[in-house]
Amino acid sequence: MTTTPHADTQTSTDERVAQAAHRLYEAELAVHTAHQTGNDDWITAANNRLHQAIVDHTVAVNAARSRIQ
């Protein structure tokens, strides 16, 4: 059985990818800013946030790819 994604589903998937990409970008900026402060706690927190943003983005992209296939 082959399913075709509904337009709303695809838009929603695309929006999730875009939102995850935006969070990833913001997390990268936070890491850069944290490094400029030299505060180890901030650097650790920013790196943790970046790691989670990478995971979230990967999940969103994989979900979008599975909709296409």
6 falls in which pLDDT band (50, 70, 90)? low
- What is the extent of the structural domain holding 28? 24-68
Total structural domains within the chain? 1
In a domain, 40, yes or no: yes
Q: 50: which DSSP letter?
A: H
Q: Are the CB atoms for 49 and 29 separated by under 8 Å? A: no
Does any domain span residue 19?
no
Nearest of 12, 19, 45 to residue 31 by alpha carbon: 45
How far apart, in whole angstroms, are the C-alpha atoms of residue 43 and residue 47? 6
Does residue 16 have a pLDDT over 80?
Answer: yes
Q: What is the mean pLDDT of the chain?
A: 89
For residue 56, the model assigns a pLDDT of 97
